[in-house]
Amino acid sequence: MNLRDLRGSVAIVGAGTAGIGEAPGYTDIELLALAAKAAVEDAGLAMRDIDGLATANLNAAMWPLNVVEYLKLRPKFVEGTNLGGSAFVAHMLPAMLALSAGVCDAVLVCYGSTQRTSGRREKLQARTLLDPFPFEAPYEPFNPPSSYALIAARHMHQYGTTRRQLAEVAVAARGWARLNPEAFARDPLTIDDVLAARMVSDPLTVRDCCLVTDGAAAFVMTRSDRAKHLAKEPVLLLGTATAAWHRQISGMDDLTVTPTLESGARAFSMAGLAPQDIDVVQLYDAFTINTIVFLEDLGFCAKGEGGRFVENGAIAPRGRLPVNTNGGGLSCVHPNMYGAFAVVEAVRQLRGECGERQVRGAVTALVHGNGGVAASSQSTSVLALAEAL
């Protein structure tokens, strides 16, 4: 069997979110359950129809079991690989394979976190204890910002990228967030605001860094033949791929080139599409530099041209290419890991459910997940409505 044979063989049939922003008094799994319920109902299914599970969480080593028990699932397929925030985009490949092989019929991909309201300092300390980085920790990088700051500094050095171009990314994300009632940060934001914001790890200010919020997101995947008979128009998975190259910043060969180069090429190849075929783009913007580097590595522009590509509102509402139309991790939601939220927004855009921020006539979407503290793992999926085939 060729991977190309699986193009469009499975679809996302339900999507939901819960607790975006602040959800004081809730736990990770409580928010996850609410998003899972919303996604399953959105598909026109019941929780008892779910026989596959894909999930990950930074705080629990056996997180899929927590979810199995909480939702009282009896899954025939369980996927718990944690590559960081890209996880939920990465889960699409094994979910597709399991569905296609008949291992299961409906996979719930789900995530929830109360990072903002539930003592993140203690959890970070515990993770550091369990997963030490003895060759980086003595220098106290403030990660993840410092590793992405090193990437940004190198990109500026090699290609002349400017802080103003980084700021364009934050301002574009805010422009979209202002059209999204679900987004957490909706105040006006200008390039000068970003440049004047508190510096965190040069050249990144606090406005170049993603939000820290609560939130949960979930989606349901089935085989496409079954998807046709469910509640909403299926969003077909045309291509998906993951690439993982390193863990720490010192493990990168070229700081300006991420595994996206590989995941994007493989996902596009499977989909039989190219960047110019994509109507709406969801990129994991943990930091402003991410959006620029990913646009390059995915082929929307040449390497080194990302800064110039985003200038003059090019990725903002009414720009040339709609990117991160929910407001992204920078302005909509970012609870530890963002990947699942990017997927939900792509699904909503293709279904035409996005109100003021709707990209008119969008039939193809790209979702790109980033994982690890140094652009370590990258997952790309190409989604489309049936009419795009």
Partner 1 sequence: MQPEMNRGAEARYAAALSEGRFLIQRCNDCTAHVFYPRELCPNCHGTSLAWVEARGTGSVYSVTTVRRKPEAGGDYNVSLVELDEGVRMLSCVEGIPPSEVRIGLRVVARIADHGGKRVVFEPAERAK
Residues lying near partner 1 in the complex (CB under 8 A) are found at: 134-136, 138-142, 146, 149-151, 153-154, 157, 198-204, 248-250, 255
Nearer to partner 1, 113 or 146 (CB): 146
Cβ closest to partner 1, residue 194 vs residue 315: 194
CB of 278 to partner 1, least distance (A): 31
State the minimum distance, in angstroms, from the CB of residue 287 to partner 1. 12
Nearest-approach distance from CB 153 to partner 1, in angstroms: 5
Q: Least Å distance between CB 376 and partner 1?
A: 14
Q: Give the alpha-carbon dihedral of 332, 110, 288, 139, to 10 degrees.
A: 120
The residue among 108 and 170 lying less far from partner 1, judged by its C-beta, is 170
Tokens standing for residue 275: 């960047």
Nearer to partner 1, 253 or 387 (CB): 253
Smaller CB distance to partner 1: residue 150 or 298? 150
Shortest reach from residue 292's CB to partner 1, in Å: 16
Burial class (CB in 10 A: 0-12, 13-18, 19+), 65: middle
Length of the chain: 389
Q: How far apart are CA 244 and CA 303, in angstroms?
A: 20
Residue 84 CA to residue 11 CA, distance in Å, equals 23
- Taking the complex as a whole, the smallest distance from the CB of residue 34 to partner 1 amounts, in Å, to 37
* Alpha-carbon distances, residue 183 vs 12, 163, 216, 333 (angstroms): 22, 25, 13, 6
Which amino acid does the sequence have at 89?
V
- Tell me the two tokens of residue 212: 């820290």
| List of residues 6+ apart from 78 with CB closer than 8 A | 52, 53, 54, 64, 68
Chain centroid offset of residue 127 CA: 22
Nearer to partner 1, 97 or 153 (CB): 153
